[in-house]
Chains A and B, each alone.
Chain A
């Protein structure tokens, strides 16, 4: 299978603190890849580096064989940050129109794309509502819609289901699977174990290192445990 993301020996430090130390990572085309780790383990930093917002001190990152960062590559990446990056004063539609224009979608395409993504996240009825009046879950879904506007090949989601109720979490995951079936590669960070379970493959991040990387089943098998949580702890012990 072809690689979508290749990370080689990536390292970054903020001031004296080394946040990521020597990261190697391969994400295949068309899979849902999970980055699992406790908060502060460097998940957000790593996805920001892959997106091209941050640049590391060492190492290289390639997406579709092109070196990151590149404005050209950003056209084919959809990024949903941890915070809902929405303009509170604007309506849902206006928020999407803005993002669409930034990605250079033509007027006709824009309309169609907005309809499509609003349907995916089930917000069509609320498109003329001002975002300020949205509930937390609706904002989260709108953020997801905004990152899908330009039909990216690679979708990067930073903790997409934080603060979202179980029903909505289910529906977001079923959407992600649909997108994957349409050929999209999805990189998702999480610190919730049952969510990690839903990924095709998983990398466990701890203290700036990747301590394990495989399918959820294999990870459990290798450590002879029943849950990912136990596997994570076991890998952590081995590391030391």
Chain B
């Protein structure tokens, strides 16, 4: 079995190259941890000011904040916003509670809203009253970590598999082993299949470690099923691998593989859901439809945040599988450049 021979060879090679395995598995862990440290630190303690609020409300707010609510007027509060030393201002306007958020920092926003909501719900006679919320800066659409944490898993799986897979296949060419291989009766599809299976094994391990780490160590919000998430990350990794081997046909050295990163990887990061796309120009939104990471990240997000099942996500998965298949077939054709047969 020639495919089997290629698979075994790749496993042996990678096992000897401990650093590459480390890149594949631990580099994503390190980077995700860094992001987590930055975005998911200790709970934020908001600074809230108030004017003319009823005593019971002031009391529960103080209990909730574990410190005094500062008294100031609305104009004083706005000045404080500009100096960045106040997070929210609360008062009563037309018999309805009114909250003005500083708004530029999503972490602060959600911290304030949490305090205020708890405060209102603990006032039994005020249960049905919803405060009017306004933003001094920004808007309530920003909630960075909710969106990014899950997408980052997809992104880093994609990124590191792409780099390692691309360079490995390129080396096959630069060190002359591809030419040697093509002088044997091996078929082109056997080479590509062997590559995907051999590396695929390592990407399964990679996906498993990253997902386990994020869910159980970093405690990322995870509403869905662990194994279903694993299926999606693996499918994403295989797509990245197929794309990497395909593109490596158009690179002459390692540096040129790196040059694909700003062209192929970074745009995917920007347009795949880390940032909100709805505000973008329509042609940019269309662009994201041609990026595999869009579908992978979406599926990961749906599983992790909304707790959906693979069955609900069949469209994402089908498209992702289609991408992988397309890259696989194009790969076999790209090898024609080196041997037509």
Contact = CB atoms under 8 A, between A and B. Distances in A.
Interface of A: 51-55, 69-72, 74-75, 77, 79, 81-90, 94, 98-99, 101-104, 130, 146
A84 B13 CA distance: 17
A146 B182 CA distance: 14
A79 B183 contact: yes
B16 A90 contact: yes
Nearest to A149: B184
B175 A51 contact: no
Contacts of B9: 87, 90, 94, 98
21 contacts: A51-B183, A52-B183, A53-B338, A55-B340, A71-B185, A71-B187, A79-B183, A81-B179, A81-B183, A83-B175, A85-B180, A86-B175, A87-B175, A89-B16, A98-B9, A99-B184, A101-B4, A101-B5, A102-B6, A102-B181, A104-B2
A103 B12 contact: no
B285 interface: no
A102 B178 CA distance: 13
Contacts of A90: 9, 12-13, 16
Interface string B171-208: 00001110111111111000000000000000000000
Contacts of B338: 53
A130 B180 CA distance: 19
A69 B341 contact: yes
Interface of B: 1-2, 4-6, 8-9, 12-13, 16-17, 175-177, 179-187, 338-341
A85 B2 contact: no
Contacts of A53: 179, 182-183, 338-339
Contacts of B4: 101
Contacts, number: 82
A87 B177 contact: yes
A54 B179 CA distance: 10
Contacts of B176: 81-85
A52 B341 contact: yes
A85 B179 contact: yes
Given A71-B341, A81-B180, A85-B177, A102 B16 contact: no
Contacts of B175: 83, 85-88
Contacts of B181: 85, 102
Nearest to B172: A87
Contacts of A99: 180, 184
Nearest to A79: B183
B181 to A, nearest CB: 7
B17 to A, nearest CB: 6
A94 B5 CA distance: 11
Given A51-B183, A79-B183, A86-B175, 17 more contacts: A52-B339, A53-B338, A55-B340, A70-B341, A71-B185, A77-B183, A83-B175, A85-B177, A85-B179, A85-B180, A85-B181, A86-B177, A89-B16, A90-B13, A98-B6, A102-B5, A103-B185
A102 B340 contact: no
A87 B180 CA distance: 11
A146 B180 contact: yes
Nearest to B186: A102
Contacts of A54: 339
A98 B6 CA distance: 7
A45 to B, nearest CB: 13
Contacts of A98: 5-6, 8-9
B15 to A, nearest CB: 8
Contact of B184 (A69, A74, A84, A89): A74
List 7 A-B pairs, minimum CB-CB distance, nearest first.
A85-B180, A101-B5, A83-B176, A79-B183, A89-B16, A85-B176, A71-B185
Contacts of B5: 98, 101-102
Given A52-B341, A81-B179, A102-B2, A89 B186 contact: no
Nearest to B180: A85
Nearest to B177: A85
A75 B1 CA distance: 15
Contacts of B183: 51-53, 74, 77, 79, 81
Contacts of A103: 184-185
Contacts of B2: 101-102, 104
Contacts of B182: 53
A130 B16 CA distance: 10
Most chain A beta-carbon neighbours within 10 Å: one of B1, B175, B177, B340: B177
B199 to A, nearest CB: 14
A175 to B, nearest CB: 19
